[in-house]
Amino acid sequence: MVSVEAPSDRDSLMGKFSTWFGGEDSTGFILKMLSPVLFIFVVGILFPLVYGVYISFFTFPKRSVQVYVAFGNYVALFNDPEFWDSYVNTILFTVITVSLELVFGLAIALLLNKEFKGRGIVRAAILVPWAIPTIVNARIWEYVFGATLRSPVNDMMYRLGMIKDPLVFTSGRDVPVNVLEVLFTVAFIATFLASAYIVYINISNNGIHDLDFTRKELIILGTFVLSFIMTIIVPNKAYAASGLFGFTSMSMERDWIVIITVDVWKTTPFMALLILAGLQVIPQDLLKAAEVDGANAWQKFRNVTYPLLLPSMGVALLFRLIDAFRVYDIFAIFETDGIQSITKFAMDNHTRGRYGLSSSIAIFEFMNIIVMTVVVMTLTRRRTDQ
């Protein structure tokens, strides 16, 4: 690049500008090119942010009247049990959905990490949940979990003899949840997938005639068979038996099942895509070398794939954590009276005209996200240094 020293007017403001933005003859060009982004930054970020902090010290008894209350909004906020409720809900939502998405996403990415016929179809299918608006997604699942036998989940549970009356998933009422039943179903699905994968790995490594399972794998296979049997036997009797164990039956605040399903369905594919991209960067020679050294599939994953995957997985995790913590759509769409996310709580206060209070909630949320970002970044960075 041609670099001509700027003339000696460095004491003037324009001179300072030119040292910040280049000190070359292109300074004018750079400034002109950056001016839209600087404008957006000042109008769209800097001013609202400063103004947001400012109005969090005021209350608005009327739209046009503002009263200075110092830290009154923050005090009111931290004394509000509803706020802590929404805070806990948001954390719960973030932890549950992100961990589920991470596990499912990793599984899908590991599965798809090879050349095969029909890759394009799979990629298109994977993008569908990501592309459609959350509201569409929520409406679909609302119907799936509908409160009558006209909707599939209740109908299927009825057909299987698990229920006599349709369960209400999205009505603001508590739903009785049979913990045993849920545990067995989860164990059934998880171990079923795990067993099939184990058999698949074994066949592709050893052949069909000399299957050679390790003890860990046998435990998983056994759990699958056991949970399969239990899922068939238990449901019909669990309701009768739930009185025996206090813990087997508890009530769950209404739409958690639906809310988690909606979010997991929407973002698992996205997570899988990000992790898959990270996987494809891992050099194949390393895996081959490990294979030559006699590492099995798990050891290869644990000692080669996982450490190399961690940085890109950290980025994906960070994006998802921030996004999940800011969740609004799902909680707003279901018009949940019982459970709110922190953003929903802020927006509700906003629509009631409590701009100061909602601004203080927003700033609290932002602080949380900054802390979260710093924690995740230091954690993943330290691991990669090893």
Binding positions for other proteins, 172-231, rule CB under 8 A: 193, 196-197, 199-200, 203-204, 207-209
| Distance from the Cα of residue 149 to its chain's centroid | 31
Residue type for 198, please? I
First CA to last CA distance, the chain? 39
Cα–Cα distance measured from residue 304 to residue 306, given in angstroms and rounded to the nearest whole number: 6
Cα–Cα distance measured from residue 212 to residue 206, given in angstroms and rounded to the nearest whole number: 7
* Total residues at interface with other proteins (CB under 8 A): 116
> Interface residues for other proteins in 335-364 (CB under 8 A)?
343, 346-347, 350-351, 355, 358-359, 361-363
Select the residue interacting with other proteins from 100, 144, 167, 177 (CB under 8 A).
Answer: 144
Nearest approach in angstroms of CB 323 to other proteins is 10
Question: Residue 278 CB: number of other CB atoms within 10 A?
Answer: 21
Burial class for 323, CB neighbours closer than 10 Å (0-12, 13-18, 19+): middle
Residues in CB range of 378: below 8 A, 6 or more apart? none
Residue 15 engages other proteins in binding (rule: CB under 8 A): no
Nearest approach in angstroms of CB 125 to other proteins is 4
Which one, of 269, 257, 265, 253, lies nearest residue 136 by Cα?
A: 265
Select the residue interacting with other proteins from 87, 256, 270, 324 (CB under 8 A).
Answer: 270
Considering only the stretches 72-80, 110-118, 177-185, 237-245, report the one whose residues sit in contact with other proteins under the rule CB under 8 A: 110-118
> Interface residues for other proteins in 148-177 (CB under 8 A)?
148-152, 154-155
Select the residue interacting with other proteins from 80, 326, 348, 376 (CB under 8 A).
Answer: 326
Nearest approach in angstroms of CB 253 to other proteins is 22
Residue 306 engages other proteins in binding (rule: CB under 8 A): no
Residue 80 engages other proteins in binding (rule: CB under 8 A): no
- Closer residue to other proteins in complex, CB, 12/148: 148
- Per-residue interface string for the shown chain with other proteins, residues 30-59, x marking contact by CB under 8 A: x--xx-xx--xx-xxx-xxx-xx-xx----
Q: 279-282 — which CB contacts under 8 Å span 24+ positions? A: 279/109, 279/110, 279/113, 279/305, 279/309, 280/113, 281/308, 281/312, 282/308, 282/309
Question: Residue 344 CB: number of other CB atoms within 10 A?
Answer: 21
- Closer residue to other proteins in complex, CB, 24/85: 24
Helix (H, G, I), strand (E, B) or coil at 68: strand
Select the residue interacting with other proteins from 213, 228, 239, 265 (CB under 8 A).
Answer: 265
Nearest approach in angstroms of CB 139 to other proteins is 5
